[in-house]
Amino acid sequence: MGAKVSTVTSSGGARRRRGPPTDFAGPAPGRERRLDIHVFVSPDGGLATGRAWERCVWREARVLIAECPAPQLPASVESALRAIAARVARDRAWQGMGTVAFSLDDRSGVFRVICAESRPQSGAAVADFEPVAAHALEVRIDGCADRHKPCTRLLVCGATRGEALRRAYRALSEMPGPAGVDRAFLMNRIASRAYCTGLTGTRLDQAVG
Protein backbone atom coordinates (compact mmCIF):
# COMPACT_ATOMS: atom_id res chain seq x y z
CA MET A 1 0.00 0.00 0.00
CA GLY A 2 1.66 3.25 -1.11
CA ALA A 3 1.35 6.80 0.11
CA LYS A 4 -1.34 7.52 -2.49
CA VAL A 5 -3.79 5.39 -0.55
CA SER A 6 -5.91 7.85 1.39
CA THR A 7 -8.67 5.60 2.74
CA VAL A 8 -7.77 2.54 4.78
CA THR A 9 -9.19 0.45 7.58
CA SER A 10 -7.46 -0.75 10.69
CA SER A 11 -7.71 -4.31 9.38
CA GLY A 12 -5.41 -3.41 6.49
CA GLY A 13 -7.91 -3.07 3.63
CA ALA A 14 -7.74 -0.03 1.38
CA ARG A 15 -9.53 1.86 -1.36
CA ARG A 16 -7.50 3.99 -3.77
CA ARG A 17 -8.43 7.62 -4.37
CA ARG A 18 -7.02 10.26 -6.69
CA GLY A 19 -5.66 12.20 -3.74
CA PRO A 20 -6.38 13.33 -0.20
CA PRO A 21 -9.33 15.64 0.47
CA THR A 22 -8.52 19.33 0.74
CA ASP A 23 -11.11 20.37 3.36
CA PHE A 24 -9.26 21.50 6.48
CA ALA A 25 -12.20 23.35 8.07
CA GLY A 26 -12.28 20.94 10.99
CA PRO A 27 -13.92 17.60 11.73
CA ALA A 28 -17.29 16.94 10.15
CA PRO A 29 -20.40 16.58 12.33
CA GLY A 30 -20.71 13.10 13.76
CA ARG A 31 -17.82 10.89 14.83
CA GLU A 32 -14.91 12.20 12.75
CA ARG A 33 -11.62 12.64 14.60
CA ARG A 34 -8.46 14.39 13.38
CA LEU A 35 -5.16 12.82 14.38
CA ASP A 36 -1.48 13.48 13.63
CA ILE A 37 1.40 11.02 13.60
CA HIS A 38 4.87 12.59 13.75
CA VAL A 39 7.65 10.75 11.94
CA PHE A 40 11.41 11.02 12.36
CA VAL A 41 13.87 9.73 9.77
CA SER A 42 17.52 9.81 10.83
CA PRO A 43 20.40 10.53 8.43
CA ASP A 44 21.27 6.82 8.38
CA GLY A 45 17.73 5.86 7.34
CA GLY A 46 16.35 4.83 10.72
CA LEU A 47 12.65 5.62 11.07
CA ALA A 48 10.50 6.13 14.15
CA THR A 49 6.89 7.20 14.64
CA GLY A 50 5.45 8.96 17.68
CA ARG A 51 2.22 8.45 19.58
CA ALA A 52 -0.95 9.85 18.04
CA TRP A 53 -1.75 13.51 18.72
CA GLU A 54 -5.44 14.37 18.42
CA ARG A 55 -6.73 17.83 17.55
CA CYS A 56 -9.33 17.60 20.30
CA VAL A 57 -10.85 21.05 20.78
CA TRP A 58 -11.85 23.29 17.88
CA ARG A 59 -13.37 26.75 17.61
CA GLU A 60 -14.24 28.44 14.32
CA ALA A 61 -12.08 25.96 12.39
CA ARG A 62 -9.10 26.64 14.68
CA VAL A 63 -7.43 23.95 16.76
CA LEU A 64 -7.24 25.13 20.38
CA ILE A 65 -6.14 21.90 22.08
CA ALA A 66 -4.05 19.04 20.73
CA GLU A 67 -3.54 16.07 23.02
CA CYS A 68 -1.19 13.11 23.19
CA PRO A 69 -1.92 10.28 23.55
CA ALA A 70 -5.29 10.62 21.83
CA PRO A 71 -8.12 9.95 24.32
CA GLN A 72 -9.70 6.50 24.09
CA LEU A 73 -7.99 5.65 20.80
CA PRO A 74 -7.77 1.84 20.46
CA ALA A 75 -4.20 0.57 20.37
CA SER A 76 -4.91 -1.35 17.17
CA VAL A 77 -6.04 1.82 15.39
CA GLU A 78 -3.05 3.82 16.62
CA SER A 79 -0.73 1.03 15.46
CA ALA A 80 -2.33 1.10 12.01
CA LEU A 81 -1.99 4.89 11.79
CA ARG A 82 1.68 4.69 12.73
CA ALA A 83 2.31 1.97 10.14
CA ILE A 84 0.69 4.05 7.38
CA ALA A 85 2.62 7.16 8.46
CA ALA A 86 5.88 5.21 8.29
CA ARG A 87 4.98 3.96 4.82
CA VAL A 88 4.19 7.49 3.63
CA ALA A 89 7.58 8.69 4.92
CA ARG A 90 9.41 5.85 3.16
CA ASP A 91 7.52 6.29 -0.11
CA ARG A 92 8.33 10.00 -0.15
CA ALA A 93 11.95 9.53 0.97
CA TRP A 94 11.58 11.92 3.90
CA GLN A 95 14.61 13.06 5.87
CA GLY A 96 14.29 14.62 9.31
CA MET A 97 10.84 15.34 10.72
CA GLY A 98 7.42 14.99 9.15
CA THR A 99 3.75 14.75 10.07
CA VAL A 100 0.98 12.65 8.56
CA ALA A 101 -2.54 13.86 9.37
CA PHE A 102 -5.51 11.49 9.40
CA SER A 103 -9.28 11.70 9.49
CA LEU A 104 -10.78 8.82 11.47
CA ASP A 105 -14.40 7.68 11.57
CA ASP A 106 -14.67 6.65 15.20
CA ARG A 107 -17.65 4.40 14.56
CA SER A 108 -16.36 2.31 11.65
CA GLY A 109 -12.61 2.54 12.25
CA VAL A 110 -12.06 3.73 8.66
CA PHE A 111 -9.42 6.42 8.31
CA ARG A 112 -7.80 8.40 5.51
CA VAL A 113 -4.68 10.47 5.01
CA ILE A 114 -5.60 14.14 4.61
CA CYS A 115 -2.14 15.72 4.67
CA ALA A 116 1.52 14.68 4.76
CA GLU A 117 4.27 17.27 5.23
CA SER A 118 7.98 16.89 5.88
CA ARG A 119 10.17 19.35 7.78
CA PRO A 120 13.81 18.46 7.09
CA GLN A 121 15.99 18.95 10.15
CA SER A 122 19.57 17.83 10.45
CA GLY A 123 20.66 16.27 13.70
CA ALA A 124 17.16 16.20 15.23
CA ALA A 125 16.62 13.70 18.01
CA VAL A 126 13.81 11.18 18.06
CA ALA A 127 12.80 12.48 21.49
CA ASP A 128 12.03 15.90 20.00
CA PHE A 129 8.65 14.78 18.69
CA GLU A 130 7.59 12.67 21.67
CA PRO A 131 5.78 14.17 24.68
CA VAL A 132 8.08 14.91 27.61
CA ALA A 133 5.64 13.18 29.98
CA ALA A 134 3.07 10.39 29.91
CA HIS A 135 0.38 12.85 28.84
CA ALA A 136 0.64 16.22 27.11
CA LEU A 137 -1.71 19.00 26.03
CA GLU A 138 -0.78 21.78 23.62
CA VAL A 139 -3.13 24.71 24.25
CA ARG A 140 -3.52 27.79 22.05
CA ILE A 141 -4.95 31.09 23.31
CA ASP A 142 -5.51 33.97 20.90
CA GLY A 143 -4.22 37.34 22.07
CA CYS A 144 -7.32 39.51 21.86
CA ALA A 145 -10.73 39.85 20.29
CA ASP A 146 -9.50 41.40 17.04
CA ARG A 147 -6.68 38.81 16.89
CA HIS A 148 -4.05 41.40 16.00
CA LYS A 149 -1.84 40.15 18.81
CA PRO A 150 0.09 36.89 18.58
CA CYS A 151 -1.40 33.83 20.19
CA THR A 152 0.02 32.10 23.25
CA ARG A 153 0.83 28.41 23.19
CA LEU A 154 1.09 26.34 26.35
CA LEU A 155 2.55 22.84 26.57
CA VAL A 156 1.14 21.20 29.68
CA CYS A 157 2.34 17.79 30.83
CA GLY A 158 1.26 15.32 33.48
CA ALA A 159 1.78 11.77 34.66
CA THR A 160 -1.91 11.12 33.89
CA ARG A 161 -4.52 12.76 31.69
CA GLY A 162 -6.34 14.03 34.77
CA GLU A 163 -3.19 15.70 36.07
CA ALA A 164 -2.52 17.32 32.68
CA LEU A 165 -6.10 18.65 32.52
CA ARG A 166 -5.91 20.08 36.04
CA ARG A 167 -2.60 21.79 35.27
CA ALA A 168 -3.96 23.22 32.02
CA TYR A 169 -7.03 24.61 33.78
CA ARG A 170 -4.90 26.16 36.52
CA ALA A 171 -2.46 27.67 34.00
CA LEU A 172 -5.32 29.27 32.09
CA SER A 173 -6.92 30.64 35.25
CA GLU A 174 -3.62 32.18 36.40
CA MET A 175 -2.65 33.83 33.11
CA PRO A 176 -1.80 37.51 33.74
CA GLY A 177 -3.27 40.42 31.82
CA PRO A 178 -6.54 40.65 29.91
CA ALA A 179 -8.26 37.37 29.20
CA GLY A 180 -7.79 36.17 25.65
CA VAL A 181 -10.91 35.58 23.60
CA ASP A 182 -10.45 31.83 23.89
CA ARG A 183 -9.57 31.50 27.57
CA ALA A 184 -13.10 31.22 28.99
CA PHE A 185 -14.05 28.86 26.16
CA LEU A 186 -11.05 26.64 26.88
CA MET A 187 -11.65 26.57 30.63
CA ASN A 188 -15.27 25.59 30.00
CA ARG A 189 -14.22 22.76 27.71
CA ILE A 190 -11.46 21.44 29.97
CA ALA A 191 -13.75 21.43 33.02
CA SER A 192 -16.63 19.75 31.19
CA ARG A 193 -17.58 16.21 32.08
CA ALA A 194 -17.73 15.37 28.36
CA TYR A 195 -14.08 16.28 27.74
CA CYS A 196 -12.90 14.67 30.96
CA THR A 197 -14.51 11.39 29.86
CA GLY A 198 -12.74 11.50 26.49
CA LEU A 199 -15.13 13.14 24.02
CA THR A 200 -13.38 15.26 21.39
CA GLY A 201 -14.09 17.28 18.25
CA THR A 202 -17.71 17.68 17.18
CA ARG A 203 -18.85 15.03 19.66
CA LEU A 204 -17.53 17.29 22.42
CA ASP A 205 -19.25 20.34 20.92
CA GLN A 206 -22.56 18.48 20.73
CA ALA A 207 -22.28 17.32 24.34
CA VAL A 208 -21.25 20.67 25.82
CA GLY A 209 -23.24 22.97 23.51
Please indicate, yes or no, if residue 27 is contained in any of the structural domains. Answer: no
Range of the domain at 111: 32-208
pLDDT for 14: 33
Q: Which residues on neighbouring strands pair with residue 7, listed in sequence order?
A: 15
Count of domains forming the chain: 1
Asked if the structure places residue 150 within a domain, the reply is yes
Burial of 92 (C-beta count, 10 Å sphere; 0-12/13-18/19+): middle
59-71 tens-digit pLDDT: 988 899 999 999 9
For the chain, the distance separating the N- and C-terminal CA atoms, rounded to the nearest angstrom, is 40
Q: What is the CATH classification number for the domain harbouring 118?
A: 3.30.470.20
Q: What is the mean pLDDT of the chain?
A: 80
Choose the weakest-confidence range: 2-6, 123-127, 145-149, 150-154. 2-6
* Domain-embedded: residue 15: no
pLDDT at 144: 52
Does the pTM exceed 0.75?
A: yes
Between helices 183-191 and 161-173, what is the axis angle to 10°? 150
**Residue 177: pLDDT band with limits 50, 70, 90:** low
Mean pLDDT computed over 39-49: 92
* Residue 92 belongs to a domain: yes
- pLDDT, one tens digit per residue, over 182-192 is 888 999 999 99
Residue 186 inside a domain? The answer is: yes
* pLDDT confidence of residue 146: 52
Percentage of the chain modeled with pLDDT above 90: 56
Structural domain includes residue 25: no
- Segment holding 203, helix H or strand E: helix 201-208
Does 14 reside within a domain? no
Query: Position 183: which residue type?
Result: R
Under a CB-based contact definition with an 8 Å cutoff, are residues 155 and 183 in contact?
no
Residue 10 included in any domain:
no
Between 148 and 38, where is the model more confident?
Answer: 38
